[in-house]
Amino acid sequence: MTHTPTILLVEPTFYDVSYSINPWMDPAAWARDPRGMHRSAMQSFDALREALGRAGFAVEVAPGAPGLPDMVFPANAAVVLDGRALLARFRYPQRRGEEAPFADIFGTLRERGLLDEVALLPEGCFQEGAGDCIWDAGRGHFWAGFGPRSSHEAAVAVSDYFGKDVVALELATEQSYHLDVCFCPLSGGEVLYYPPAFSEAALRELRARVPARLRIEASADDLRHFSVNAVNLDDQVVMTRTTPHLRTELGRRGYQLHEVDLSPFMLSGGGAYCMTLRLDRRSGPGIAAVAA
């Protein structure tokens, strides 16, 4: 099992925006210039891969599949921790076809020694991978979003499989259809989040667990830029082109930003985190808890 920071991407060969299952998806914009859009998507993908390499990741690239354009968002394919992958069950039929090819991809990763185990969720619940279940290394637990895509009972299934605590947060809007759109724990203990995305109960839970000095509130403009949907490794942050305010705030806290134009993928409701899946993440021991 590798301990090198390793991250999965899926080639956008078959990517397009041809349907809408979240408020950000814009098939009409794609249809105005599909060839130009696809060319831009390939360029953005290459730029993201290079930025991840600069940030310190080894990058694994898997093939997509015809008719499954959203495979470019592998964050939704599985929850991965300690060499174990729990495969997603998608809510919408447009994405359920991804389950079989992703199972093949994860099987290959296991054969290559990049994973130790691959498992299936129990039937009857929806859970859309690391997009709705984010490991917080400093606090030693998962944060799990539920509501638009993942079901509340999926948090129990994740906890049972990994043997880790899961803090469930209800998502209150379709704009923030996955937790990763509106929530990002950082290596220094900060949590970048967009408050209107959460129910009142979820906000109380979040604020009880994260002290004010470590909470970074994102703006509606940050959300539109998919700036919260970021990839963090130590003091490196890979993200879409962000807002001046957030760029300044993250820099003030010691983070180095790698900004990438991901506008072709934002047309489908995804940013840098959506397009990646961390494969090597370990739960400890030796990871200090973040002090309240």
14, 45, 34: which is closest to 263 by C-alpha?
A: 45
223, 271, 263, 241: which is closest to 30 by C-alpha?
A: 263
Distance CA 37, CA 43 (A): 10
Calculate the CA 101 to chain-centre distance. Answer: 19
Active site residue 274: yes
Which of 125, 133, 182, 274 is flagged as catalytic?
Answer: 274
In the sheet that holds 256-260, the strands lie side by side as: 231-233, 236-240, 256-260
Which of 178, 182, 184, 258 is flagged as catalytic?
Answer: 178
Identify whether the C-beta of residue 57 lies closer than 8 Å to the C-beta of residue 256: no
Question: In this structure, what token pair is assigned to residue 173?
Answer: 């809007």
Active site residue 178: yes
The kind and range of the H/E element at 232 are strand 231-233
Identify whether the C-beta of residue 183 lies closer than 8 Å to the C-beta of residue 193: yes
Return the active site residues.
178, 274
